[in-house]
A and B are shown apart, each in its own frame.
Chain A
Amino acid sequence: MTSRLFWKLFLALWLSIVGFAVISAVTNAYLAQQSVPEEPGERFNRDFGVLTEKLGAALHTQGPEAARKILRNLPRQVREHVYLLDDQGQELLGRDFILKRLDRHRSQHHSRELRDGSGRAYRLVLLRRPPPGPLLAPGFRGIVHRLLVAALVAALVSYLLARQLSAPLERLGEASRRLASGDLSTRIGAPLTRRKDEFGRLAGDIDEMAARLEEMQTANRRLLRDVSHELRSPLARLRVALEIARNRDSTAVRGELNRIELESERLEVLVDEVLDLLRETSGTGPFKRERFDLQELLSDLQNVVNYEAPEGSPGLILQAEQGLFIEADRELLWRALENLIRNALLHTDARAGVVLSARPEPERGGVEIRVADRGPGLAAQHLEKIFEPFYRVQEARDRATGGHGLGLAIAAAAVRRHQGEITARNRDGGGLELVVWLPAGTG
C-alpha cells in the first residue's frame, strides 16, 4: 500500500521541479526570440572563404575524391560547419541527414555552387552553427521534448525521495498500531533502526519502549499468576479440611460448617473476579483477535446458559441473524457476555426471561449487542456507575444473589479491550437493557 504521505511528497516534489523546468524553458524561449541574429563575422567569412576556394579548386582540378579528402582532414569543429552535396543531393561524407534538419529548422547557412572538371554541379553549405539535436532544437517542439525529459527525470528523483521519506513512516506507523492493539512483541528492527538519521533514532526509541512495555507486561502477568496461586492454595486446603470435618461426627457444628463453606466459596469467587478484573484492566490477559460469526457464539452461549434455566422460564431468548462477522477475542467476549446475561437473569422476572439480541450498527458500523431484562431496572443515578468495580445498587439484594459487583466491571473491561462501548439504560415497560457496541474489526 502506498501511503497518502508518499503521494503528497511525490507530487509536491515532482510538480515543483517540473514547474521550474517549464518556467525556465519559457524564459529561454523568450530570451532566444529577443536575441538579435548574429551578423556573419569577418573571421567566419575569411576562414570559410579560404575553404570555399580550396574546395572549389580541388573539385575542379582533381574531382570529388580530393574534395572529400579535404573535408575529412578538417578539424572536427570546422567540419561540422561544412557540407558538400553533389547534384543528387548526396553529401560527400554521407552526412545526408543534415539536410532534413536544415530544411526543418532553417538554420542560418550560406550555400554556394561549385563545379568539378566535368561540369557537374555541387552545392557547398556553410552552417553558422552546427545543427542541434532534437532535444536542443529551438522552437515549440524542442521545448516539449526537453520538458518531457525533465518531467521523467523529476518523476524518478521525486519517487526515490518520497519513498525514502514515507516508507520509514509507514513502517513506524504500522508498528505503533500493532503495539497499541496489544502485540507487545512487535519490533521495528533493522534496516530502519540502523539508519543514522532521525528516523533511525525514532525507530530505536520505539523498539526500546516496546521492550520495556513487554517486560512490564511479563512481570505483571507472572505476579498475577503467583498471586492467584498463593491466594487459591490456602482456600483449596480450607475446603478439603472442611469436608473432612463434616465427615467426622459433626452434627453439633453443622450450621457453622455450612457457614464456613459459604464464606469460603464467596472468597473464592471474589478472588477469581478480582484477578479477572485485574487481568482485563491491565491488559495482561491473553488477547487473540479472530474473525467469526457472532451469531454462532451467541447461540452457543444461549445453550450453555439455558441448561440452568428454571422450569417454566423461557430463560435466554436469542434474536440475531447469521453472518454477523466480527473480529474479536472469542473467549473474552464469551465471558463478558456471560457475565451480562447472568446478571440479567438474576434480576429479571423469570416468566419474561432475558432477551439477547444482536444486529449491525448502521451509523458507526460494527455490531450492537443488547441484553434486556424485565427486572426492576435502575434509578437514573446508578446507570453509569454499575460498571464500576464493587459498585452495589442494593447491598441486601446483591448479597442474596451472590454477586460482588464485579461481573459487570469485568464485562466492561473486556468490552473496552475490544475498543467497544458499554452502556446501561432503562427499558420502556420496565427492566434494564445493557447495550454493547463492538467495532467490526481493527480499523
Chain B
Amino acid sequence: MPDTILLADDDVELCALLQEYLQQEGFRVRLAHDGACALEAAREPGLDAMVLDIMMPRMSGLEVLKALRQDSDLPVLMLTARGDDLDRILGLELGADDYLPKPCNPRELVARLRAVLRRAGSVAGGASMAVEDLQLDPGRRELLKAGRALELTSTEFSLLQALLQKPGEVVSKRELYRAALGRDPVRYDRSVDMHVSNLRRKLGPNPHGEPRIVTVRGIGYQYRTGADATA
C-alpha cells in the first residue's frame, strides 16, 4: 500500500509537477494550496506525512504546524526559504521532523520523505529500555516518564532512543543525524540541536533535578544518568 503524502504549497504549478513526480516515485499525493486548507487536509485520515511550505497565504506554515501539533504526530517535512534561519528554527521548535531549503532537489525531497516515513512506520525498532524514570518502548513508539505517557514526535523519539542506547556515553552529532533524520548533517544545519532542545523541554530534569541531556561541545550529546553526575 503506497504512502499518502499531503503536499501544502501555494505554488500551484510546482505542486502539480511535484505530484506527478511523487506519483512516479510510488506515493499517493493530496494537495493543499493555502494554510487553512492544509490544516484541514492534514487532519483527515489515511495520511502518512506532510510536506509543508512555510510561506503560504491565509495561514502560514508555522501556524499550521503549531495548530497541528496540538493533537497530531503526523510526520512533517518543512520547506523553508533558503537562508531564513528564523523560520527553520521556529519550525523545528514547533515540532517539524525535518526541513529542506527551497528550491529543493526533488530527489532529495523523496529521500527525506522516505527517511521520515521509515522512522514513523518502523515497528521492529529494537528492545524496550528503561533508564532512570524513563521507559521507552520502540515497538509501540511510546515513552513513559514515571509511568505517564509523554507525547514525542517521531524524530524526537528516535533521537532519545539513540541517546538512551548508550546512557552516559557521548553520541556524536553525525550518529544522531543518521539515527533521527536518516541523513548526514548539511551546511548550516542545526536540526539535531533544535530537536534536542525540544526533547529537553519535554523531558524536564532527571529525578535528581539535573539536566538529562548535556551538550559536549564540538562532539555531540550525552544522556547523563544520576551515576555519571555523582561520579
Contact = CB atoms under 8 A, between A and B. Distances in A.
Interface in B6-28: 11, 13-14, 17-18, 20-21, 24-25
B174 interface: yes
Contact of A239 (B105, B173, B185, B187): B105
Contacts of A268: 103
Contacts of B105: 239
B14 A240 contact: yes
Contact of A243 (B83, B106, B189): B106
B219 to A, nearest CB: 8
Contacts of B102: 232, 236
B184 A307 contact: yes
A300 B187 CA distance: 11
Contacts of B20: 244
A239 B218 contact: no
Interface in A293-322: 296, 299-300, 303-304, 307
B43 interface: no
A276 B106 contact: no
Could you say which of A229, A235, A276, A307 has the most chain B C-beta atoms within 10 Å of its C-beta? A307
Contacts of A239: 103, 105-106
A247 B110 CA distance: 13
B58 interface: no
A233 B11 contact: yes
Interface in A311-355: 331, 334-335, 338
B174 A247 contact: no
B108 to A, nearest CB: 10
B104 interface: yes
B217 A240 contact: no
Given A232-B103, A243-B107, A237 B85 contact: no
B140 interface: no
A296 B82 CA distance: 25
Interface residues of A, number: 26
Contacts of A331: 85
B14 A233 contact: yes
A335 to B, nearest CB: 8
Nearest to A334: B188
A307 B184 CA distance: 9
Contacts of B104: 236
B218 A240 contact: no
Interface string A224-256: 000011001101110111011001000000000
A272 interface: yes
A217 B43 CA distance: 41
A296 B11 contact: no
A307 B83 CA distance: 21
Nearest to A268: B103
Nearest to B22: A240
B83 A276 contact: yes
A236 B188 CA distance: 21
A296 B217 contact: yes
Interface string B55-79: 1000000000000000000000000
Interface string B99-138: 0001111110000000000000000000000000000000
A395 to B, nearest CB: 26
A12 B189 CA distance: 60
A199 B55 CA distance: 46
Nearest to A303: B218
A299 B105 CA distance: 29
Contacts of A300: 218
B218 A299 contact: yes
Contact of B21 (A233, A247, A296): A247
A272 B187 CA distance: 14
Could you say which of B17, B18, B102 has the most chain A C-beta atoms within 10 Å of its C-beta? B17
A62 to B, nearest CB: 100
Contacts of A236: 11, 14, 102-104
A335 B85 CA distance: 12
B128 to A, nearest CB: 33
B14 A244 contact: no
A11 B182 CA distance: 72
Contacts of B218: 299-300, 303
Contacts of A247: 21, 24-25
A95 B105 CA distance: 107
B215 to A, nearest CB: 11
A178 B1 CA distance: 61
Contacts of A233: 11, 14, 103
Contacts of A228: 81-82
Given A236-B104, A239-B106, A268-B103, A304 B187 contact: yes
B186 to A, nearest CB: 9
A163 B17 CA distance: 69
A320 to B, nearest CB: 12
A300 B217 CA distance: 8
A248 B81 CA distance: 30
Given A233-B11, A237-B14, A244 B21 contact: yes
Contacts of B184: 307
A201 B173 CA distance: 58
A371 B75 CA distance: 42
Nearest to B55: A229
30 contacts: A228-B81, A229-B55, A232-B103, A233-B11, A233-B14, A236-B11, A236-B104, A237-B11, A237-B13, A237-B14, A239-B103, A239-B105, A240-B17, A240-B21, A240-B106, A241-B17, A243-B21, A244-B17, A247-B25, A268-B103, A276-B83, A296-B217, A300-B218, A303-B218, A304-B185, A304-B189, A307-B174, A307-B185, A334-B188, A338-B187
Given A236-B14, A237-B13, A244-B20, 11 more contacts: A229-B55, A232-B103, A233-B103, A236-B103, A240-B106, A243-B106, A243-B107, A244-B17, A272-B82, A276-B83, A300-B218
Q: Which 4 interchain pairs have the tightest Cβ spacing?
A: A236-B103, A240-B17, A243-B106, A247-B24
